[in-house]
Structure 1
Amino acid sequence: MRSGGKILIGLLSGAAAGVAAGLLFAPKKGKDTRKAIADTSDNYYKGARGKVTDFSDSVGHKIDALKAKTKASFSNSKSEEKINEAKAEIHEMKAS
């Protein structure tokens, strides 16, 4: 392992030990500390879940836009082509 990796592992281990020591010797009651930890982890979970949902929606709209562009390219009539181009633009706007 390179020395940069060892330093990073050492820093992360030290930070984890510091957090653990801080929790153990905190002036709050254990009940309050556990509630704070649960609330914080719940907030992180909700934030991550929201980001995953947003990413998934964005990818879905990009795929729908690509499908509409493909249909526009292979359409038989000019009106069908314009409709599919409009659909593609709508999905592109929703994706961003």
Structure 2
Amino acid sequence: MNSGMKILTGFSLGLLSGVVAGLLYAPEKGDKTRKQLKKNMDKSYKESLKKIDELKSTVNKEMENVTSKGKETIDHLKSSVNYKN
């Protein structure tokens, strides 16, 4: 499991734990608690989308780097053995 997935898993578990704890120890009435819970869930959802976008960007950059390095290696190997198409 890569570090991005570990972060996302940890974030999700933390979010779930927070929701459960919030419901169990809610000092407000049900209506207020539900409104606050919805507000927090919306905020967490937006933050999750942001983190996913950051993770996608990181993965795309790494894939570009790997592709570039692979092409460079192939070109180097071709030139070192005088390969001609």
Q: Matches of residues 21-36 of structure 1 in structure 2 within 5 Å?
A: 29-36=35-42
Aligned position for 1:71: 77
Gaps of 5+ in 1: 1-27, 84-96
Structure 2-normalised TM-score?
0.56
| Aligned-residue offset at 1:82 | 3.8
Give the equivalent residue in structure 2 for 1:61.
Answer: 67
Of 38, 47, 53, which residue of structure 2 is paired with 1:47? 53
Aligned to 2:81, what secondary structure does the other structure show? coil
**Map of 2:11 onto structure 1:** none
- Counterpart CA distance in 2 for 1:82 and 1:68 is 12
- Cα distance in structure 2, aligned partners of 1:82 and 1:55: 31
Taking structure 1 as the reference length, the TM-score comes to: 0.50
- Cα distance in 1 for partners of 2:74, 2:42 equals 48
Give the greater-gyration-radius structure (CA).
1
Structure 2 distance, partners of 1:42, 1:61, is 28
Long gaps (5+) in structure 2: 1-33
* Other-structure match for 1:4: none
What residue identity is the alignment partner of 1:67? T
Looking at structure 1, the residues matched to 76 and 44 of structure 2 have their Cα atoms a distance apart, in angstroms, of 48
Cα distance per residue 1:33-59 (max 9 Å; x no partner): 100011001100111101100110010
Q: Percent identity?
A: 8
